[in-house]
Amino acid sequence: MFAYAKSKRGDVAKNVKQSKSMAKIMNAMTVEALIKQAGGSIPQSMIVEVNKALNKIKKVND
């Protein structure tokens, strides 16, 4: 999903390198927040497929 969004942002996005601190920040974000950050670069059909895959993961009860 991230590679797709990056490809839709042009040459500037293709040349950006992700730092360790940025990766740490992104890993703490929810999927919903990451999709919003993509600013419409991710098609609705891809979001639906990601949601279906995530729904198959068993939840851990604390």
pLDDT tens digit string along 19-60?
Answer: 889 889 888 988 888 888 887 888 899 889 989 999 999 988
Alpha-carbon distance of 32 to 62, in angstroms, equals 22
pTM: 0.56
pLDDT computed for residue 52 by the predictor: 93
Longest alpha-carbon distance in the chain: 44
Q: Is 19:26 a contact under the CB 8 Å cutoff?
A: no
Say yes or no to pLDDT of 14 above 80.
no
pLDDT computed for residue 18 by the predictor: 79
Alpha-carbon distance of 4 to 27, in angstroms, equals 18
pLDDT computed for residue 61 by the predictor: 82
pLDDT computed for residue 6 by the predictor: 64
Per-residue CA distances from 19 to 5, 28, 39, 54, 57 (Å)? 18, 14, 21, 26, 29
